[in-house]
Amino acid sequence: MAKLYFYYASMNAGKSTTLLQADFNYRERGMHTMLYTAAIDDRIAQGVIASRIGLQIGGNLFDRETDIRAEVEEELKKRKLHCLLLDEAQFLTRAQVVQLASICDELDIPVLAYGLRTDFQANLFEGSAHLLALADTLVELKAVCECGRKATMNLRVDAGGRAVSQGKSIEIGGNDRYISLCRRHFMERIAEVEGEQLRLAIAREAQLIEAEKPVPIST
């Protein structure tokens, strides 16, 4: 029976490279694949799956409204499919993850999904949460923190390289916006920025209190 695989990691762990290698392995043996990537990801170009080492290939787009199961069934009318591969799988919806499971179980096509586990606030993405719940096989790909430990967290940074702890969950970016860190150094960087935010808030409040003090009337 076909299986649903979820390859997950932090940024810069080689998820897209691993996908491209898997796709090449299938095609080298004369087998047919169908590729997807998130429409929201336009870092290189929309519909392009690209690795940091320069490899890239075109793929179908998915957004929150895409019926992946229906599109796969349409493709099956034209040719046999031996594998379905999806990049940026964290952006899938719960319903789409269920579709992937049904593609394995009912159409007998293996599905390989690649994506981030958590966002910059250490919260699970919707797609990742349901892939962790439904996948037959979970594979963690290793990224390396600046300290040499395994990097499991994604730190968002601003233009000056300072940690960002607030904002939208989804913001597309590469090495200029995200750094892969181990949990310890992620927590330290977040604590630094939140401590600075608290210090600034206290300073602003003190200024307001000072401004509201009555001005002494000279006699």
Residues acting as catalytic residues: 88
What are the beta bridge partners of residue 96? none
Give the residues across from 196 on adjacent strands.
none
Nearest-angstrom CA–CA distance, 107 and 6:
18
| CA gap 98, 131 in Å, rounded | 9
Question: In whole angstroms, what is the distance from residue 179 CA to residue 192 CA?
Answer: 16
Joined tokens for residue 29: 């043996």
Residue 50 and residue 16 in contact, taking contact as beta carbons nearer than 8 Å = yes
- What phi and psi, each to the nearest 5 degrees, are found at residue 27? -70, -30
Helix 126-134 to helix 94-107 angle (10° resolution) is: 30
